[in-house]
Amino acid sequence: MQYALILDGVSKHFGSFTAVSNLSLQVPKGCIYGFLGQNGAGKTTTIRMVMSIFHPDSGRISVLGQPDAATVKDRLGYLPEEKGLYKKMKTAEIVAYFGKLKGMDSRTANLRAKELLIRYGLGDWLDKKCEAMSKGMGQKVQVLGTIIHEPELVILDEPFSGLDPVNRDLMRDLILDMKRQGRTVIFSTHGMEHAEQICDYVMMIHKSKLQFAGTLSQIKQGRDLGIQLDYDGDGDQLQHLPGAARVNDHGKHAEIFLQPGKDPQQALRWLLDHVTVKRFDYREPSLHEIFVRTVDEANQKLATAGVER
Amino acid sequence: MANKTLLVAQREYLENVRTKTFWIGILIVPLLIGVMVGASALLAKLKQVQRYTVVDLGGGDLLARAEREFRQGDAKAVFQLLAKAKDDPKLQELQRKVGATGDGKEPSGEQMLAIFDWMQAQDPAVLAKFADLQTSKQYDYLPAAELGIAEIGSEAGQQELNRRVQKGDLFAYFVLGDKPQESTTDFRYVSNNLTDDSLRSAYENALTRIVQKDRIAEAGIAPKVATHIQQRVEFQKQQVDKTGATAEVKRENVLDKWAPVGFVYFLWMAIFSIANLLLTNTIEEKSNRIIEVLLSSVSPHQLMQGKIWGIAATGLTIVGTWVGFGLLAGWLVPQFLGDTSGGMMGMLFTALGNSGYLLAFVVYFLGGYLLYAAVLVAIGSVCNTLKEAQNLMQPVMMVLMVPLLAMVFIGQEPNGLVAKVMSFIPLFTPFTMMNRAGGPPETWEYVVTSVLLVVTIWLVMKGAGKIFRVGVLMTGNPPKLKEIFSWLRQS
């Protein structure tokens, strides 16, 4: 298999703080890869190293087959987490400017900028200044600036944050479009539902260390099955379910894990007596559950390690 | 690679050219010069006419003679105007009275008297029409009759005069003693304005001349002899020119030596304001969070260089326009004032248009800008707000104040020890060498200081690059100086 990105034992420290520790990862070409992790886990640092904004203290990074990412900068597209624009520049100008910075010639960049803006519904804004736009529109312009030069690898840091549902869908479609065109997309997110919906692969990093990586089914394989429940009624009741090990109650939806050897059928019977069951599923855990559990387990491990020391 | 630097610079330049700051920068210098030229004329116009009267206790013709002597300058100006009498009936009338056309060099004593008589008879408004009548415009003599004081020499009359001075109706009054030939110790000048002494000193000079003339006549000394005795010693100002011969010092020579001081001032303004533009620009970009997008396409080095040169181009455009204005004025103004080739303005603008100074100005602007730009871009890269930057700017400002404070001193001693030492401190080199341009410094000094300056710029740029690379992605509190030095030590 060909890889768009290979990280091999990459570490990065800032003073005494370890941001990324011995991270190894392969991102196959043409896939959508989700980077998961809490705030400050090391996702952005990893991405910045891939973009050669930072240099790793140790380990090797190969981007698009090149050992030095700086040489392929023009074939990468990057949308940082903190998204900014030049307020005084016109939207068409700024999108074209990003293209030119990636080595496009001026004419092509200008034409393509207009074309993209029109295609994504910003045709009326071509000659307007960026400061006049709403946050969502600004973010759209940013994304267009990221992909104007048709990059082979696109890295989006938190592309969904701060978007309304319509724009979220638009962003999702954009990412899927890019996959269809054969590009590789890496994005980081806190929204597990997005990762679950569109990612081929996910990885999770916690406190600078890689926790898991692989396809969604690989990650879910072998994990405890759980009850996925849609319900109406008093959610507090769920806590009293006999034989329940963990209950993640979201108000209308709950994810329930049973103690080993307990029968989900009995649980269903009990549930029918206590709340109005709308949907009942017994299946592998959600990414959300895996994420939360991984964080818990990792923190426990760190705590015991601290006690032993 | 260089291509991307150029792109950043180009964008920076275009964005700046579209701002107000740019146009203000372009217009400020011609405006300043205009204000400097216009302000003195305007202030003279705005100055209130000082009304005064004279009490002559002697009762002779001293008062009348004093007034004449005092207004002699005006009479001469009126006499010159006779050359243009064709257009003005009033002046034609005077021409008949005086019997001269004014084309001659100097009016005779009799002609002066005729002009005085005529002037006395004229409405002040008519006299004011003649722009050159400085004395008439500034000082207005009110005779006792006009003031409505009958016995002006009496005790009561003086009390009345005091009252008017107190009220502000009168600016001042003079009391002339009755025996001027014997003693002038009882001459008095009464005014409550203690700061503007011009009326008193001008009147004093006029009276001194009269009293001296009278005393000379009384002693039976021939006026010629008297003039000879009274002649002051005056050194003829000379300088040694390039060939080693002595030559007369003209006023334009002096102006030429002072012109660099003016250039230093503009140089300072240009460097400071344009480097400051870079600072605010960097902070804005950083707080805008656009930096990271840019860094995914260009290296920090390219970004920094692009910004520095883009703004350098902005600055050069501004400074180039100034130089253009200077050249134009240097050529145009002497043309306008062609008939009075000795006019101050003409010489000033000739000095301004001195191509050697202009070249030095542009070169030292670029050198000074690059040096301070590197420092300011580094400061900008570690700050998130202008307020944070102001703290870090304080030491820079203190350094920048030095050449400004030394400006006049170095102008007086362009090859003195202080000037020489400062020339070799790269932070001051652009200003000091510009300041010394009238000296001028020796060739080896130009060479050595320039090499020092270029090496320093290179070193500071390198250091700034290291700070910029790390600082530009930092958020939160600005780093401590210790941290910044540790970045500098990294390769």
B149 CB within 8 Å of a chain A CB: no
The whole-angstrom distance between A242's CA and the closest CA on chain B is: 50
- B228-259 pLDDT tens trace: 888 888 888 888 887 888 888 877 777 778 88
Q: Identify the structural domains of chain A with CATH numbers, from first to last.
A: 3-220 (3.40.50.300), 226-283 (3.30.70)
**Cα B50 to Cα B350: distance, rounded to the nearest angstrom:** 36
Provide, rounded to the nearest whole percent, the portion of chain B with pLDDT above 90: 20
Question: pLDDT-derived band of residue B131, with 50, 70 and 90 as boundaries?
Answer: low
Q: What is the pLDDT of residue A194?
A: 84
Residue of chain B whose alpha carbon sits nearest to that of A77: B296
Q: What is the pLDDT of residue B344?
A: 58
- A to B CB pairs, distance under 8 Å: 58
Best mutation target among A73, A79, A98, A101 (most B Cβ atoms within 10 Å) is A101
Work out the average pLDDT over B361-375: 92
Work out the average pLDDT over B401-413: 90
Strand partners, A202: A34, A214
The whole-angstrom distance between B470's CA and the closest CA on chain A is: 9
**Cα B2 to Cα B16: distance, rounded to the nearest angstrom:** 21
pLDDT at residue A187 is higher than 60: yes
**Cα B286 to Cα B292: distance, rounded to the nearest angstrom:** 9
Q: What is the pLDDT of residue B339?
A: 45
The pair of structure tokens assigned to B316 is 């050069």
pLDDT at residue B342 is higher than 50: no
Residue A41's contacts (CB-CB under 8 Å, 6 or more residues apart) are A205, A206, A207, A208
User: CB–CB of A84 and B289 under 8 A?
Assistant: yes
pLDDT at residue B373 is higher than 60: yes
- B441-480 pLDDT tens trace: 888 999 999 999 999 999 999 999 989 988 888 777 777 7
**Cα B154 to Cα B291: distance, rounded to the nearest angstrom:** 86
Per-domain residue ranges of chain B: 2-31+254-489, 49-229
pLDDT at residue B343 is higher than 60: no
A100 CB within 8 Å of a chain B CB: yes
Residue from the list A78, A84, A87 with its beta carbon closest to the beta carbon of B296: A78
**Cα A289 to Cα A84: distance, rounded to the nearest angstrom:** 33
Residue B387 sits at the vertex; the CA angle it makes with B386 and B389, to the nearest 5 degrees, is: 65
The model carries a pTM of 0.75
Question: pLDDT-derived band of residue A201, with 50, 70 and 90 as boundaries?
Answer: very high
The whole-angstrom distance between B480's CA and the closest CA on chain A is: 14
pLDDT at residue B340 is higher than 50: no
Q: Which residues of A7-39 are buried (b: 16+ CB within 10 A; e: fewer)?
A: beebbbeeeeebbbbebebbbebbbbbbbbbee
Q: What is the CA radius of gyration of chain A?
A: 22
Q: Around Cβ B195, how many Cβ atoms within 10 Å?
A: 4
SS3 B250: coil
The pair of structure tokens assigned to B283 is 């902070």
Residues 427-486, chain B: which have Cβ within 8 Å of A? 473
**Cα A80 to Cα A48: distance, rounded to the nearest angstrom:** 9
Residue from the list A76, A84, A97 with its beta carbon closest to the beta carbon of B296: A76
Query: In angstroms, what CA-CA distances link A141 with A15, A149, A237, A280, B418?
Result: 36, 14, 48, 42, 57
Question: pLDDT-derived band of residue B400, with 50, 70 and 90 as boundaries?
Answer: very high
User: Cβ distance A29 to A200 under 8 Å?
Assistant: no
Nearest to A184, CA basis, from A158, A213, A155, A148: A155
Work out the average pLDDT over B297-320: 91
**Cα A97 to Cα B8: distance, rounded to the nearest angstrom:** 9
User: Cβ distance B436 to B423 under 8 Å?
Assistant: yes
Provide, rounded to the nearest whole percent, the portion of chain B with pLDDT above 70: 90
The whole-angstrom distance between B460's CA and the closest CA on chain A is: 22
The pair of structure tokens assigned to B398 is 């203190």
pLDDT at residue A247 is higher than 60: yes
Q: What is the ipTM of this complex?
A: 0.80
Residue from the list B18, B292, B299 with its beta carbon closest to the beta carbon of A80: B292
**Cα B264 to Cα B340: distance, rounded to the nearest angstrom:** 29
Residues 238-297, chain B: which have Cβ within 8 Å of A? 285, 288-297
pLDDT at residue B88 is higher than 80: no
User: CB–CB of B293 and A142 under 8 A?
Assistant: yes
**Cα B261 to Cα B412: distance, rounded to the nearest angstrom:** 10
**Cα A148 to Cα A92: distance, rounded to the nearest angstrom:** 11
pLDDT at residue B349 is higher than 70: no
Residue type, B158: Q
Q: What is the pLDDT of residue B129?
A: 67
Q: Around Cβ B169, how many Cβ atoms within 10 Å?
A: 12
Farthest CA pair distance, chain A? 69
**Chain B positions in Cβ-Cβ contact with residue A78 (cut-off 8 Å):** 292-293, 296
- A202-229 pLDDT tens trace: 999 988 888 888 898 888 887 878 888 8
The pair of structure tokens assigned to A45 is 């640092």
Most confident of A253-262, B66-75, B232-241, B418-427: B418-427
User: Cβ distance B480 to B388 under 8 Å?
Assistant: no
**Cα B320 to Cα B358: distance, rounded to the nearest angstrom:** 10
**Cα B167 to Cα A28: distance, rounded to the nearest angstrom:** 97
User: CB–CB of B291 and A53 under 8 A?
Assistant: no
Strand partners, A210: A205
Residue from the list B15, B285, B297 with its beta carbon closest to the beta carbon of A101: B297
Work out the average pLDDT over A67-75: 83
SS3 B471: helix
The whole-angstrom distance between B293's CA and the closest CA on chain A is: 6
User: CB–CB of B295 and A89 under 8 A?
Assistant: no
Q: What is the pLDDT of residue B64?
A: 84
Work out the average pLDDT over A79-105: 88
Q: Around Cβ A307, how many Cβ atoms within 10 Å?
A: 6
Question: What are the two backbone dihedrals, phi and then psi, of residue B174, each rounded to the nearest 5 degrees?
Answer: -105, 145
The whole-angstrom distance between A267's CA and the closest CA on chain B is: 51
Question: What are the two backbone dihedrals, phi and then psi, of residue A226, each rounded to the nearest 5 degrees?
Answer: -140, 165
State which H helix or E strand residue B42 sits in. helix B20-46
User: CB–CB of B288 and A86 under 8 A?
Assistant: yes
pLDDT at residue B433 is higher than 60: yes
pLDDT at residue B134 is higher than 80: no
The whole-angstrom distance between B290's CA and the closest CA on chain A is: 4
Strand partners, A246: A257
Higher pLDDT, B13 or B324: B13
Q: What is the pLDDT of residue B94?
A: 81
Sign of the alpha-carbon dihedral angle for A227, A233, A239, A242: negative
Residue of chain B whose alpha carbon sits nearest to that of A93: B11
Q: With 0-12 CB in 10 A as exposed, 13-18 as middle and 19+ as buried, what is A79?
A: buried
Question: pLDDT-derived band of residue B386, with 50, 70 and 90 as boundaries?
Answer: confident
The pair of structure tokens assigned to A193 is 């539902």
Best mutation target among A14, A63, A72, A82 (most B Cβ atoms within 10 Å) is A82
Residue of chain B whose alpha carbon sits nearest to that of A44: B292
pLDDT at residue B337 is higher than 60: no
Give the relative orientation of helices B481-489 and B443-471 as an angle to the nearest 10 degrees: 100
CA atoms within 13 A on the CB side of A137: 19
Number of H helices, E strands in chain B: 23, 6
Residue of chain A whose alpha carbon sits nearest to that of B285: A86
The whole-angstrom distance between B6's CA and the closest CA on chain A is: 10
